[in-house]
Amino acid sequence: MSKKRRSFSAEFKAQVGLEALKGIEPIHVIAQRHEVHPVQVSQWKKEVAERLPEVFAKPSAQVKDEIAAAQREKELYARIGQLQMELDWLKKKVGPLGS
């Protein structure tokens, strides 16, 4: 009978990866303490190291995205208003002719 595959939360992976990144203890000791394979700890360590700059870069990028989304929303509402006015004008002009 096969074993059920374990899944770990993102918080747990980050904790173990950061612990390995600190380098206070060897990876095999960290793996043994958390009951995971040392290769898995190394992978989490690598991923934490790669994504760490995103922690500090994200707010400014997120703010830029929000500003762009707000600008796009403003443009779309303006276009909707313009199209609504054109539709009303056309209805008014075509109304007497269509009857």
Is 70 exceeded by the pLDDT of residue 99? no
Average pLDDT, the chain: 89
What residue has token string 């993102």?
10
Long-range contacts, 14-18 (Cβ 8 Å, 24+): 14/44, 14/48, 16/41, 16/44, 17/41, 17/44, 17/45, 17/47, 17/48, 17/49, 18/48
- pLDDT of 63 reads 80
What confidence score (pLDDT) does residue 36 get?
94
Greater pLDDT, 84 or 6:
84
Q: Please tell me the pTM assigned to this model.
A: 0.57
Q: How many Å separate Cα 57 from the centre of its chain? A: 13
- Residue 85 pLDDT > 80: yes
Q: What was the pLDDT predicted at 58?
A: 62
